[in-house]
Amino acid sequence: MNPLLTTGHISIWLLLGGLVFPRLALALAALVFGGYPPNPLSDLVNFLLWLFVPRFLMAYYIYVDIGVNNIWFWAYIVTGIMGLIGEPSAIHRRVVRRRTVVSRGDGTTTTVEEIEE
């Protein structure tokens, strides 16, 4: 097997699910499947990292299990950095306010939409 694609002791479902939903995948691993992947961190540190930086926690698990010469490690590092940089600028709150004006004499209706960003 290609050494770039090896999964080590971490199951493939956790690696794939963790790229999209890292907190959910780690929670399922801890609650349903009997614990986090083997690592030297304490339970408190595992929980805090799970809470604040779950993708980097998964990258650390992969580093401990397989090493850095692996596509999984770099995928988690890249998605973690993209999440840190991209999330604040990607979330735009758009407010659309609709105002309807109805004229009784003519029977006309006018709707005006104002978009605030």
The CA-to-CA distance between both ends of the chain, in Å, stands at: 50
Q: Distance (Å, rounded) from C-alpha 115 to C-alpha 33?
A: 47
pLDDT digits (tens, 9 = 90+) for 3-50: 666 777 888 888 999 999 999 999 998 888 777 777 898 989 989 999
* Coil, helix or strand at residue 84: helix
Residue 60: other Cβ atoms inside 10 A: 19
Does residue 5 lie in a domain region?
no
Q: Distance (Å, rounded) from C-alpha 77 to C-alpha 63?
A: 11
Decide: 49 and 25 in contact? Cβ < 8 Å.
Answer: no
- The tally of domains found in the chain comes to 1
Would the pLDDT of 78 be above 90? Answer: yes
pTM beyond cutoff 0.95: no
Does residue 72 lie in a domain region?
yes
Does residue 18 lie in a domain region?
yes
pLDDT band at 70 (very low <50, low <70, confident <90, very high): confident
Note down the domain range covering 82.
Answer: 12-90
Does residue 7 lie in a domain region?
no
